[in-house]
Amino acid sequence: MPKYFGLLALIFSCGLIVRGGLVPQVEVPEIPDEVSLDAEGPKDSNTTSTKSTLKLVHVLFRHGPRTPVNTYPKDPYINETYEPYGWGALTNGAKVELYKIGKQLRQRYRDFLAPYYQPDMIRAQSSESPRTMMSLQMVLAGLFPPENTPLEWNLMLNWQPIPIFMEPEETDLRIRMKASCPRYDEAVLEIFDLPEVKKIHEENSQLLQELSDFTGLNVTHAHDVTNIFISLQTEQTYGLKLPEWTKDYYPEKMLPLAALSYVYDAYTAEMRKLKGGYFIEFLLNQIQSKISGKLKPADRRMFISCGHDWTISNILSALDVWEGQMPRFSALIAFELHQKEETGEYFLELYFQNDPDQEPKQLQIPGCEKQCPISKLVELTKDVLPDAPYKDLCKPKRTLNGAKITYH
Ligand SMILES: *[C@@H]1O[C@H](CO)[C@@H](O)[C@H](O)[C@H]1NC(C)=O
Ligand SMILES: *[C@@H]1O[C@H](CO)[C@@H](O)[C@H](O)[C@H]1NC(C)=O
Ligand SMILES: *[C@@H]1O[C@H](CO)[C@@H](O)[C@H](O)[C@H]1NC(C)=O
Asked if 76 and 244 touch (Cβ cutoff 8 Å), the reply is no
Does some domain include residue 133? yes
pTM for the structure as a whole = 0.85
Closest ligand 2 atom to Cα of 77 = 13
Ligand number with the minimum distance to the CA of 223: 3
Ligand number with the minimum distance to the CA of 217: 3
Does some domain include residue 195? no
The CA distance from 78 to 74, in Å, is 8
Residue 216 CB less than 6 A away from ligand 2:
no
Residue 220 CB less than 6 A away from ligand 3:
yes
Closest ligand 3 atom to Cα of 212 = 13
The model's pLDDT over 316-348, given as tens digits with 9 standing for 90+, comes to 999 999 999 999 999 999 999 999 988 999 999
Residue 79 CB less than 6 A away from ligand 2:
yes
Mean pLDDT of 271-283: 98
Q: Is 373 helix (H, G, I), strand (E, B) or coil?
A: strand
Does some domain include residue 203? no
Measured by CA distance, the residue closest to atom 12 of ligand 3 is 218
Mean pLDDT of 165-191: 96
Number of domains in the chain: 1
Residue 316: which of 377, 266, 358, 390 has the closest Cα?
Answer: 266
CATH number of the domain within which 97 lies: 3.40.50.1240
Does some domain include residue 30? no
Task: Please report the pLDDT score of residue 339 as a whole number.
Answer: 95
Does some domain include residue 354? yes
Structural domain harbouring 275? 52-181+266-394
Residues contacting residue 70 through CB under 8 Å, at least 6 positions apart: 227, 228, 230, 231
E strand residue ranges, 215-331: 302-307
Does some domain include residue 125? yes
The model's pLDDT over 78-133, given as tens digits with 9 standing for 90+, comes to 999 999 999 999 999 999 999 999 999 999 999 999 999 999 999 999 999 999 99
Ligand 2 centroid, distance to 73 Cα (angstroms): 10
Ligand 2 centroid, distance to 239 Cα (angstroms): 20
Does some domain include residue 329? yes
Does some domain include residue 105? yes
Task: Please report the pLDDT score of residue 100 as a whole number.
Answer: 98
Q: Is 383 helix (H, G, I), strand (E, B) or coil?
A: helix
